[in-house]
Amino acid sequence: MTKHNFYAGPSILPDYTIEKTAEAVRDFAGTGISLMSISHRSKEFVAVMDEAQSLFKKLLNIPDGYSVLFLGGGASTQFAMVPFNLFSKKAAYLNTGAWSKKAIKEAKNFGEVDVVASSEDATFNYIPKDYKIPEDADYFHITTNNTIYGTEIKNDIDSPVPLVADMSSDILSRPVDISKYVLIYGGAQKNLAPAGVTFVIIRNDILGKVDRKIPTMLNYQTHIDKGSMFNTPPVLPVFAALQTLKWIDGRGGVEKMHEYNQQKAALLYDEIDRNSLFKGTVTNKEDRSIMNICFVMNDGAEDKEKAFLDFATERGMVGIKGHRSVGGFRASTYNALPIESVEALVQCMQDFENHNK
């Protein structure tokens, strides 16, 4: 049976990435040594790191004056690393979900945090629109895509203060005007690589403006100066990230990824809106994520949730159960998910509806 992988993360990666990484685990770059046993200081791996940084810059049209870092620690470490490096007097945050809340919690350890708006009052099922960014804030932090609740900020915000974004789950899924941000970060385990590496895109001149002493490993300048090689980097995930970047480049780049992702999302959202047994959880359609599509049983059909999950599982759908905090269903449609998997899920939903008329 064909398996259709809708896991939210770690999630589906391109077959190309998996195959090339598997080959390198056996024999990396013709060295006769496994990728898992190679020195990160070897010329072969240094070339991987250099190419990954260069291709990342190419695919996202990253301007001069920015650095691309590949670090450990996950996006959760970035929640503290951002204020360590950028917070002087006050920071502003937009609260759109669980990950925003965690970032806000860490920032509050450094001083005043202005939460300019929140959608927590409605279980984060929309993106707040009418809010004012304080012009005296050191930076404004947003989470562009919310995996648990299925909302997404799809446009690059015009901010009067330096803009910081957690793009863990939608990086490389759409074009981004990098020049509007001073820092973008994210865990790689959605659209880029296996868990274990974190990407950071940072404008170099934003650093060096805080008075506090920053621990060496939490100082972005440390990693910029050493090209992400201050300490041993996550070698295998960085190699896998390079393969994914090559795969995206070979398929026409981020613009083509965006077109494909929009097609997949439209196909599934259309079925959710049409099907009498299901309904979407995001109130405003313009806020619907194209990466994580969340839905529940329609009014009066709530008792069929487990039956549909079993029905879908029997037909090869994997990872569609919603996050434990919200229930329902979630189909993650990351770059590597083929449209055929979305078509299979749509057919499954239609068949279930027909069986329950």
pTM over 0.95, yes/no = yes
Is 65 in contact with 91 (CB distance < 8 Å)? no
The domain in which residue 292 lies consists of 4-11+253-355
Is 196 in contact with 239 (CB distance < 8 Å)? no
Could you tell me if 208 and 290 lie in one domain? no
CATH number of the domain within which 271 lies: 3.90.1150.10
Is 123 in contact with 149 (CB distance < 8 Å)? yes
Query: Could you give the residue numbers annotated as active site?
Result: 99, 166, 190
Apex 328 CA angle, 105 and 118, nearest 5: 30
Supply φ then ψ for residue 130, to 5 degrees: -95, 90
Please determine, for residue 71, whether its predicted confidence score (pLDDT) is greater than 90.
yes
List the structure tokens of 231: 């300490």
Please determine, for residue 6, whether its predicted confidence score (pLDDT) is greater than 90.
yes
Could you tell me if 216 and 345 lie in one domain? no
Please determine, for residue 326, whether its predicted confidence score (pLDDT) is greater than 90.
no
CATH number of the domain within which 159 lies: 3.40.640.10
Could you tell me if 306 and 171 lie in one domain? no
Please determine, for residue 194, whether its predicted confidence score (pLDDT) is greater than 90.
yes
Please determine, for residue 271, whether its predicted confidence score (pLDDT) is greater than 90.
yes
Could you tell me if 59 and 108 lie in one domain? yes
Number of domains in the chain: 2
Q: Domain end: 250, 265, 293, which one?
A: 250
Could you tell me if 192 and 229 lie in one domain? yes
pLDDT band, very low/low/confident/very high, at 357 (cuts 50, 70, 90): confident
Could you tell me if 199 and 79 lie in one domain? yes
CA torsion, points 165, 171, 176, 178, in degrees to nearest 10? 50
Q: Domain end: 207, 232, 250, which one?
A: 250
Q: Domain end: 228, 250, 272, which one?
A: 250
